[in-house]
Amino acid sequence: MKEERRLVWRVLRRWKEIAESGRLPLRDEVDPWLQGEDGANCLLIAVESPIELSHFVVVGVNLAVALCSTDSLAGLLLSRSPRVASARRGLMIEGGATLRGVDILYRSVLLPLSNNGVAIDHVLGATNYRPVRDDEPPMKQGIFRTQWI
């Protein structure tokens, strides 16, 4: 099988392979994505109780600058993590945002993780994005589409 070039689809495929075995992936199973080349576009959110205390554990270098703003890509993913944790399902999000002052189109996936097989204790996020081209119409920031996995 040809290796998938897009990070979101690679991460999603591996997560599904583990989940189809009847359990959610463990945090240790996703550490290679966070430490390897893909980690630059990944983040890990610790799910706390109450859910409002959830926070970033790891943020890849390509998303780290996004932490400064409440309307950032990383902030958007953090805001959706409670829904992923309560639904115990993955969520695909597509939209437009600004990163380092550049308008981008992005596709992100948020995936629940469980170290004990019961409680969701982390949410893994992976994001592909590209700058909006000059020949494309201006994009409004926001979410264009969400889809449960």
DSSP state of 115: S
Q: Would you say residue 84 has pLDDT above 70?
A: yes
Q: Is residue 77 part of a domain?
A: yes
Answer yes or no: is 94 within a domain: yes
pLDDT in tens, 22-80: 899 999 888 777 788 888 899 999 999 888 899 999 888 887 664 444 456 777 888 89
Kindly state whether residue 93 falls inside one of the protein's structural domains: yes
Q: What angle do CA 12, 18, 79 make, to 5 degrees?
A: 45
pLDDT attached to residue 65? 60
Whether 53 maps to a domain, the answer reads yes
pTM above 0.95, yes or no: no
Tell me how many domains the chain contains.
Answer: 1
Q: Domain of 49: which CATH number?
A: 3.30.450
SS3 string, 21-68, reads: CCCCCCHHHHHHHHHCHHHHHEEEEECCCCHHHCEEEEECHHHHHHHH
Asked if the structure places residue 66 within a domain, the reply is: yes
Structural domain contains residue 55:
yes
Give 94-119 pLDDT, tens digit per residue: 998 877 778 889 999 999 999 988 89
2, part of any domain: no
Full residue range of the structural domain in which residue 51 is found: 7-148
